[in-house]
């Protein structure tokens, strides 16, 4: 297994530790609970997210001014325990309440739900929202209903901006729900990822084969097919996204996301095709992000995300943020 | 070949085009000459860099306020022609002169040199500096003397900050030279990269083999060896860097760089070991960058860079910058 690691059992704690040491002036690392949190935050609603590790920079890379207050990590592709999430809730609550942003996977739904119940029993006001942006499949290996994938980054941005502006918990929750309702994503994978503790791919794809709609844990997608050009890839993924939600005559934010092993050059080529596709359909692009934002370890492939913007979402999207993985 | 591309012959122009479309408000793309340049710039010394493509985000990703004014791209791993470089010089010169930042490869040295001569014959004041930070090998496949690798990012930052502050050409050049004198790097590769026009790796590494000191075009390094832990990797690369230049009792900037196919999680684990190593030796870290800054297409592996800081370099490093790949 060719990875820059030490003991496979330690990859999560060591990577969070190493991440915090790149930003000591504004991030804190809580060992054992595997929490990355902000040093500086006002007396505001706390926005917390998290989930399995292996999707870096999601979620810890979005901790900072204008986005998350804390991110809680589980093991690779495995939900954090309710105990860890509860520690983050107690640590970040300033009395204004806590919003949990949860990706729609059964383990996350259960553990964040339990942590919420326990915190509420302790008198902390907690709300949660569930991101389910992946239009590829309705039910999946680890989800009932749609999976939550890279669109989560936009939910972090919108909820974080609203909380930073001093809004109350119901308003921050409403902004996050409003973003979720307007976000759709879909991806494709070209090569599988290798889990450090396993040391070999969990499945195989032939030399000339890709999988459309594969999940960010390698869950089955909708179709295995031959290699596509960048133009075909943009068309296949965006056709499916546009068939699912009406983006016509709208203004959107775009995320062209890499899965970890795909270099920036390819994502930029894909972006050229995405922009051409949207222009042809009269969809106006307000802001575009291109890069590795929500990954699946060293998997190669991509996902595309659109968020339809109205005045409120546009204003919140454009507000400044200062995190390791996103700065406006 | 599993890449998100269209025609392999078009990858450079399409990726620069797609990159510009992610940042239309502040970047311009000049087709044919393959230049990415800033819309907004003052009446200041122009700082230009460039080289072969395939190292994204280097160089175009560092065009913007406080860093480069323009980046000129050649084909994959191949120097831009003097004609392209000359176009960039003429385009960006505001009458205050132009600094060219060149990585030490024979093709770049020749082509940037020719472009400089031609521009000077046209009455434009041009200076150049050569980055040769790689301590791995003295002469290499494409270089006489040391190769220029990821340390180039720090040179862009320092020269760009000096130019943005309104310094004259001799001062901007001196700041760049001062940075270069204090920068050392070394890398290692785990898997080769695949050139789009070729479709298969240019060399092979066994399943249990890595190459210490490999160049960012797959040029030979110093040793093929078994897979190392993150701790051993940090020690091997930093031992060589510290043996070459005296960083003892100093303050440094650190760059933990991925080669394109290596995910962020592994780079953070490596950073944990880098910080531990430096702390043990009494070297104080002022700033750390972790990510894919200077890549070799989809190669997996990493490089480490140290820049020794004095008051001047520290001040210039800390100045704000706003580019696609780096924002302070």
B14–A290 C-beta distance less than 8 A: no
Alpha-carbon gap, residue A314 to B184, rounded angstroms: 44
From the list A21, A23, A264, which residue is nearest B272 (CB)? A21
Question: Which residue, among B263, B267, B280, B292, would best test binding to A if mutated, counting the most A CBs under 10 Å from its CB?
Answer: B263
For residues B21 and B14, the answer to whether their CB atoms sit within 8 Å is no
CB-CB under 8 Å, B210 with A263: no
Comparing CB atoms, the residue among A263, A290, A302 nearest residue B298 is: A263
Which position among A59, A156, A178, A217 bears the catalytic label?
Answer: A217
* B161 and B26 part of one domain: yes
- Please list every residue in chain A whose beta carbon sits closer than 8 Å to the beta carbon of residue B263: 56, 260-261, 292, 295, 297-298
- Say which CATH number the domain at A272 has: 3.30.1180.20
- pTM comes to 0.97
> Catalytic residue positions of B?
55, 217
| A interface test, pick of B187, B211, B265 with most A CB neighbours within 10 Å | B265
Q: Are residues A171 and A233 in the same domain?
A: no
Contact B4 A271 (CB under 8 A): no
Rounded percentage of chain B residues whose pLDDT exceeds 90: 92
Cα nearest neighbour of B188 on chain A: A4
- For the stretch A19-66, pLDDT in tens is 999 999 999 999 999 999 999 888 999 999 999 999 999 999 999 999
B264-314 pLDDT, tens digit per residue, is 999 999 999 999 999 999 999 999 999 999 999 999 999 999 999 999 999
Q: Does B277 reside within a domain? A: yes
In angstroms, what separates the C-alpha of A199 from chain B's closest C-alpha?
Answer: 12
State whether A140 and A205 are in the same domain: no
Dist. CA B283–CA B279, nearest whole Å: 6
Asked whether residue A269 falls in the same domain as residue A128, the answer is: no
pLDDT at B218: 87
Q: Are residues A225 and A291 in the same domain?
A: yes
Give the DSSP H or E segment for B134. none
The beta-carbon neighbor of B19 closest among A18, A268, A302 is A268
> Does A231 sit within 8 Å of B272, measured CB to CB?
no
CA distance A240 to A134: 10
Query: Among B2, B4, B293, which would you mutate to test the A interface (most chain A Cβ atoms within 10 Å of its Cβ)?
Result: B4
Nearest CB partner across the interface for A292, out of B3, B227, B264 = B264
Q: Residue A98 to residues A48, A163, A179: CA-CA distances in angstroms? A: 7, 10, 18
Q: Give the pLDDT band (50/70/90) at residue A81.
A: very high
Give residue A143's pLDDT: 80
> In what order do the strands lie in the sheet containing A27-30?
A27-30, A35-38, A70-76, A46-53, A98-103, A126-131
Residue B230: is its pLDDT beyond 80? yes
Q: Which pLDDT score is estimated for A94?
A: 93
Q: How much is the pLDDT for B151? A: 98
CB B251 within 8 A of CB B281: no
Question: Which residue does chain B place closest to A263, by CA atoms?
Answer: B260
Which domain-ending residue is among A181, A204, A237? A181
Domain membership flag for residue A327: no
How far apart are the CA of A167 and the nearest CA of chain B, in angstroms?
27
The answer to whether the Cβ–Cβ distance between B18 and A263 falls below 8 Å is: no
Of B91, B100, B101, which Cα lies nearest the Cα of B122?
B91
Confidence of residue B42 (pLDDT cuts 50, 70, 90): confident
Q: Could you tell me the CATH number of the domain that includes residue A80?
A: 3.40.50.10440
Instruction: Kindly report the nearest CA distance between residue B89 and chain A, in angstroms.
Output: 25
DSSP A222-263: SEEEE---HHHHHHHHHHHHHHHS--TT-EEEEEEEE-SSS-
Residues B242 and B129 in one domain: no
Report if residue A1 sits inside a domain.
no
Q: Looking at the structure, do residues B162 and B263 belong to the same domain, yes or no? A: no
Instruction: Provide the CA A214 distance to its chain's centre, in angstroms.
Output: 15
Digit-coded pLDDT (tens) for B170-229: 999 999 999 999 999 999 999 999 999 999 888 889 999 999 999 999 888 899 999 999
Contact present, B71 and B15 (Cβ < 8 Å): no
Q: Are residues B19 and B164 in the same domain?
A: yes
Residue A218 lies in a domain: yes
Final residue of a structural domain among A164, A181, A198: A181
Contacts of B273 in chain A (CB under 8 A): 6, 18
**Rounded alpha-carbon distances, angstroms, from residue B241 to A236, B140, B185:** 48, 18, 6
**CA neighbor of A167 nearest in space, from A71, A53, A266, A45:** A45
Any idea what DSSP says for residue A62?
G
**Distance in Å from the first CA to the final CA of chain A:** 37
Boundary of a domain, candidates A181, A215, A248: A181
- pLDDT for position B99: 98
| 8 A C-beta contact, residue B109 and residue B184 | no
A217 is catalytic: yes
Q: Are residues B36 and B106 in the same domain?
A: yes
Q: How far is B293 from chain A (nearest CA, A)?
A: 10
Q: Look at residue A49 and tell me if it is in a domain.
A: yes
Interchain proximity B16–A268, CB inside 8 Å: yes
Above 80 in pLDDT, residue A140? no
Question: pLDDT, tens digit, for every residue of B50-107?
Answer: 999 999 999 999 999 999 999 999 999 999 999 999 999 999 999 999 999 999 999 9
For residue A300, give the nearest of B2, B231, B266 by CB distance. B2
What is d(CA B41, CA B48) in angstroms, rounded to the nearest whole number? Answer: 13
pLDDT per residue as tens digits for the range A95-137:
999 999 999 999 999 999 999 999 999 999 999 999 999 999 8
The answer to whether residue A71 scores a pLDDT higher than 80 is yes
- Structure confidence at residue A232 as a pLDDT band (50, 70, 90): very high
Handedness of CA A200, A204, A207, A213 (dihedral sign): negative
- pLDDT tens per residue across span B141-153: 788 889 999 999 9
Task: Give A145-203 pLDDT, tens digit per residue.
Answer: 899 999 999 999 999 999 999 999 999 999 999 999 999 999 999 999 999 999 988 88
Give per-residue pLDDT as tens, B237-253. 999 999 999 999 999 99
For residue B232, what is the nearest residue in chain A, using CA coordinates?
A: A6
Between A263, A275, A288, which is nearest B261 by CB?
A263
- N- to C-terminal Cα distance for chain B? 37
Q: What is the pLDDT of residues A245-275, one digit of tens each?
A: 999 999 999 999 999 999 999 999 999 999 9
Domain extent, residue A187, equals 183-317
Residue A229: list chain B partners with CB under 8 A: 5-6
On whether residue B324 sits in a domain, the answer given is no
- Residue A324 is assigned to a structural domain of this protein: no
Task: Calculate the alpha carbon distances from A114 to A102, A105, A110, A174 in Å.
Answer: 13, 14, 6, 22
CB B75: neighbour CB atoms within 10 A? 18
Residue B140 — very low, low, confident or very high, per pLDDT cuts 50/70/90?
A: confident
pLDDT in tens, B155-166: 999 999 999 999
The number of domains in chain A is 2
A19 and A162 belong to one structural domain: yes
Residue A230 CA neighbour count, 13 Å, CB half: 25
Q: Mean pLDDT over all residues of chain A? A: 96
Same domain, A255 and A298: yes
Q: Name the closest residue on chain A to residue B211, using Cα atoms.
A: A2
- Domain match, A192 and A267 both: yes
Q: What's the gap in Å between the CA of A82 and the closest CA on chain B?
A: 23
pLDDT at A29: 98
Q: Quote the CA–CA distance of A178 and A166 in Å, as a whole number.
A: 18
């Amino acid at each position: 297994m060719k990875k820059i690691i030490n003991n496979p059992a330690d990859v999560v704690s060591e990577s969070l530790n190493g991440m915090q040491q790149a930003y000591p002036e504004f991030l804190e690392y809580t060992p054992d609970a595997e929490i990355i949190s902000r040093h500086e935050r006002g007396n505001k609603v706390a926005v917390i997210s998290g989930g399995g590790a292996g999707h870096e920079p999601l979620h810890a890379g979005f901790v900072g001014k204008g986005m998350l207050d804390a991110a809680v990590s589980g093991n690779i592709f495995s939900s954090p325990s309710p105990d860890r999430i509860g520690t983050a809730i107690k640590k970040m609550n300033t009395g204004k309440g806590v919003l949990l942003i949860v990706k729609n996977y059964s383990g996350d739904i259960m553990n964040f739900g339990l942590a919420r119940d326990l915190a509420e029993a302790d008198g902390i006001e907690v709300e949660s929202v569930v991101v389910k942006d992946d239009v590829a499949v309705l039910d999946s290996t680890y989800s009932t209903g749609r999976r939550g994938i890279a669109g989560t980054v936009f939910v972090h941005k919108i909820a974080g901006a609203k909380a930073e502006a001093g809004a109350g918990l119901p308003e921050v929750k409403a902004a996050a729900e409003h973003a979720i309702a307007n976000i759709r994503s879909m991806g494709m994978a070209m090569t599988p990822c290798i889990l450090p503790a396993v040391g070999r791919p969990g499945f195989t794809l032939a030399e000339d084969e890709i999988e459309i709609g594969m999940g960010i844990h390698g869950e089955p997608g909708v179709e295995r097919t031959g290699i596509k050009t960048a133009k075909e890839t943009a068309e296949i993924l965006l056709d499916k996204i546009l068939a699912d939600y009406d983006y016509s005559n709208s203004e959107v934010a775009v995320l062209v996301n890499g899965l970890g092993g795909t270099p920036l050059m390819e994502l930029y080529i894909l972006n050229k095709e995405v922009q051409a596709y949207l222009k042809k359909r009269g969809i106006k692009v307000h802001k575009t992000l291109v890069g590795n934002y929500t990954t699946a370890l060293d998997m190669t492939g991509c996902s595309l995300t659109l968020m339809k913007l109205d005045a409120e979402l546009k204003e919140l999207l454009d507000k400044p943020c200062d995190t390791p993985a996103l700065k406006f």
